[in-house]
Amino acid sequence: MKVLIISHMYPTLFKENHGLFVHQQVQELINNGCKIKVISPVARVPFFLKYVKKKWLQYAKLPQNAVIDGVEVYYPRYLEFPRSIFFASSGKRMFYGINKLIKTIHDEFPFDIIHAHVALPDGWVAMKAAQKFNKPFIITIHGQDFQRTIFINKRCRFQIQDVIYHSVRTVCVSNKLKCIGVQELHIGNEKMVVIPNGINPDIFIHDSGEPKRVSFRNKIVILSVSHLIETKGVDYNIQAVFTLNKDYPELEYHIIGDGRERKKLTRLVQDLGLQDRVKFLGQLPYNHVIKHISNCDIFSLPSWEEGFGIVYLEAMGHGIPMIGCENQGIADVVRNGVNGLLVAPKSSDAVAKALDFLLRNPKEAKRIGKRGREIVLKEYTWEKNVQRTIELYREVIC
């Protein structure tokens, strides 16, 4: 089976964590016999912007194609505007930028199906390519389309509805997203299927079958990993640490990630006098992130706009008790109080109570972590995800 993947979210030579979950799924698809080519469109950089920001210079230097872990990836350019300006037409601009490449690939690699990640802009491109080459296409909704894009304006909403209407199936990574599609966009229930994301167990397990844990002790470490944007709830973690500060003098909060909220969060730490308790670690390579996850005692990310959240699985896979928010994608995996804790969104008090419970009851915290690990390794691996994805490919190709 030959599959063309279209995803602007994909690792590059200078952003190795970008869209890593798409790359991991692609690797497992290849392991299961699929032949894959990936198109990952990137913004075209005007010559003068190369000298304004390092990010734009890196984009300009990005090669037109590369091989990443044996996967052939193309990086064609297309016109993109900052801050989602004219986003409703982003699919048309992307298609214009990569149309010739798709034809060239099809001539050499007559793909059987197109799989796009996100509806706009990638899914719009897949729709047009599918019509041109008379191929089926599916899209995977990871969160942004249904949680943000449909609310930008009516044109964005219409574009996403149009893409989903023409797709043979739309994959949602959680029941939360499927419900939004049914309720907000009035998409037929039969059009959408839920296939959750997964993890690769090899990063967690020694030959003994035990999780890879590296211990540095004499402190209790709470960890979060995310882009530093408002919806991730990192500020509620900081406020919760302040609440628990006196009762747990050995407590530290480590924050992995970067983003537009970094300065605001740093000021909050300073205002609360938590400079010795809260450490900003910045963006780290994936293998370093995994080491930090294996080191922590509790993983807490009270994000209230989460389509799924693979990082929760990565913590649970290490047997780390985790805290997330109610009614988010991770609620498909977590039974509150059994294999993780779910708290009310936008509440530092709720986070503090959950942390306090785990800290005061270390044996129960360990049991929660163990049960979380068991469910993840049983049901939420890329192997499980790809088995269902290939079944879907076969269904729609026939």
Lowest average pLDDT, out of 55-59, 154-158, 205-209, 236-240, goes to: 205-209
Identify the band that residue 203 occupies on the pLDDT scale cut at 50, 70 and 90.
confident
Examine the pLDDT at 386 and tell me if it is beyond 90: yes
> Is the pLDDT assigned to residue 61 strictly greater than 90?
no
- The pLDDT-based confidence of 212 (bands split at 50, 70, 90) is low
Q: What is the pLDDT of residue 206?
A: 55
What pLDDT, on a 0 to 100 scale, did the predictor assign at position 49?
53
Strand, coil or helix: 142? coil
> What pLDDT band is residue 51 in, cutting at 50, 70 and 90?
low
Confidence of residue 25 (pLDDT cuts 50, 70, 90): very high
Q: Is the pLDDT of residue 45 over 80?
A: no
pLDDT averaged over the chain? 93
Across 127-152, average pLDDT:
97
Q: What is the reported pLDDT for 296? A: 95
pLDDT of 63 reads: 84
Q: In what order do the strands lie in the sheet with 192-194?
A: 65-68, 71-74, 35-39, 2-6, 113-117, 137-141, 169-172, 192-194
- Confidence label for 209 from pLDDT (cuts 50, 70 and 90): low
Q: Where are the alpha helices (DSSP H) in the chain?
A: 20-31, 54-61, 90-108, 124-133, 144-147, 154-166, 175-185, 234-244, 262-271, 286-295, 310-317, 348-360, 362-379, 382-397
What integer pLDDT is reported at residue 74 of this predicted model?
A: 97
State how far Cα 265 lies from the chain centre.
22
Distance of CA 394 to the CA centre of its chain: 26
Decide if 257 contacts 293 (C-beta within 8 A).
no
% the chain with pLDDT above 70:
92
Instruction: Return the residue matching tokens 């967690």.
Output: 204
Confidence of residue 57 (pLDDT cuts 50, 70, 90): low
Give tens-digit pLDDT for 147-199.
Answer: 999 999 999 999 999 999 999 999 999 999 999 999 999 999 889 999 999 99
| pLDDT at residue 53, rounded to an integer | 59
Q: What is the pLDDT of residue 158?
A: 96
CB 244 within 8 A of CB 278: no
Mean pLDDT score, 207-214: 54
* Domains with residue ranges and CATH for the chain: 2-198+382-397 (3.40.50.2000), 202-379 (3.40.50.2000)
CA dist list (Å): 371 to 124, 205, 298, 368? 41, 16, 14, 5
**Structure confidence by residue, pLDDT tens digits, 328-363:** 999 999 999 999 999 999 999 999 999 999 999 999
pTM: 0.93
Closest CA to 36 of 107, 109, 104: 109
Across 273-285, average pLDDT: 97
Amino acid identity of 47? Answer: F
Question: What does the pLDDT read at residue 43?
Answer: 83
DSSP one-letter string for 58-111:
HHHH--SEEEETTEEEE--EE---GGGTTGGGHHHHHHHHHHHHHHHHHHHS--
Contact 176, 307 (CB under 8 A): yes
